[in-house]
C-alpha cells in the first residue's frame, strides 16, 4: 500500500507540474484539478476494495491451518500485488496521456523541452516500479525465511516483522524525498531555460 501511495504521489506531482507549465488560463488549472481528483478517488476506491477483499479472505481462511493457510496467504498477497501493479500502470498511462495532451497545446516550451519532460516523468515512473519490485522481492524473501525459522516464537516473529516494516518505511521516505528533489531540480531547469 505504501508503495502505491509513493507512485500515486509521483503521478500527482506529474499532474501538478504539467499544470504549472500549461496554466495559460484558468481552464487548464481546472483540468489538472479534475484529473487529480479523479485519480485520488480511483485510488481510494481501489484501496477500499482491497480492504474488503482482505476481510473476506481472512474469513475464508479461518478453517485452514499450517502450510495450507500459508500458501493461501502467499497467493492472495501476490494477486493483490499484481492488481496494484496493474492499477499503478493504468494511472501512469492516464497521467502520461494527460501530460502529452497538455504539452501538445503548450506554446511556451520547445519540442526538446517537451520531450525532456516526458522522458523525465517516464524515468521517474520506472524508478518507482523498480523500487516497488525490489521491496516486494525483499518482503517475499524475508517472510519466507521468517516463516521457516522454527527457533523464533510468534511474538519474536511479529517483532521482526515490525522492525522490517519500520526499516522499509524509512527507505520509502528516503525514496520519496529523492524523487521530490529530482522533480524540483527538473522544474528549476525548465524555468531557467
121-141 per-position pLDDT tens digit: 999 999 999 999 999 999 999
Question: CA 134, CA 81: separation in Å to the nearest integer?
Answer: 12
Is residue 132 exposed (0-12), middle (13-18) or buried (19+ Cβ within 10 Å)?
buried
d(CA 81, CA 77): 6
Structural domain tally of the chain? 1
Please give the Cα distance from 54 to 41 (Å, whole number). 20
DSSP 61: T
pTM of the model: 0.77
Q: Note the pLDDT tens digit of each residue in 62-109.
A: 988 888 988 899 999 999 999 999 999 999 999 999 999 999 999 998
118: three-class secondary structure by DSSP: helix
C-alpha cell at 87: 492499477
Are 94 and 39 in contact by the 8 Å Cβ rule? The answer is: yes
Q: Which domain holds residue 28?
A: 2-192
**H or E element at residue 150:** none
Least confident of 7-16, 37-46, 70-79, 97-106: 7-16
Amino acid at each position: 500500500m505504501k508503495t502505491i501511495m509513493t507512485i500515486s504521489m509521483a503521478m500527482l506531482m506529474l499532474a501538478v507540474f504539467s499544470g504549472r507549465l500549461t496554466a495559460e488560463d484558468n481552464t487548464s488549472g481546472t483540468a489538472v484539478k479534475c484529473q487529480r481528483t479523479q485519480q485520488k478517488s480511483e485510488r481510494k476506491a481501489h484501496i477500499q476494495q482491497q480492504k474488503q477483499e482482505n476481510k473476506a479472505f481472512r474469513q475464508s481462511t479461518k478453517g485452514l491451518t499450517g502450510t495450507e493457510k500459508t500458501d493461501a496467504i502467499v497467493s492472495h498477497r501476490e494477486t493483490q500485488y499484481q492488481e496494484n501493479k496493474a492499477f499503478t500502470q493504468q494511472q501512469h498511462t492516464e497521467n502520461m496521456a494527460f501530460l502529452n495532451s497538455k504539452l501538445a497545446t503548450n506554446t511556451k516550451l520547445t519540442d526538446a523541452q517537451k520531450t525532456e519532460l516526458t522522458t523525465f516523468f517516464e524515468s521517474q515512473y520506472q524508478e518507482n516500479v523498480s523500487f516497488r519490485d525490489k521491496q516486494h522481492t525483499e518482503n517475499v524473501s524475508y517472510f519466507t525465511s521468517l516463516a521457516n525459522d522454527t527457533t523464533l516464537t510468534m511474538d519474536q516473529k511479529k517483532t521482526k516483522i515490525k522492525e522490517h516494516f519500520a526499516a522499509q518505511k524509512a527507505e520509502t521516505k528516503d525514496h520519496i524525498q529523492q524523487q521530490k528533489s529530482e522533480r524540483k531540480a527538473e522544474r528549476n531547469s525548465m524555468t531557467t531555460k
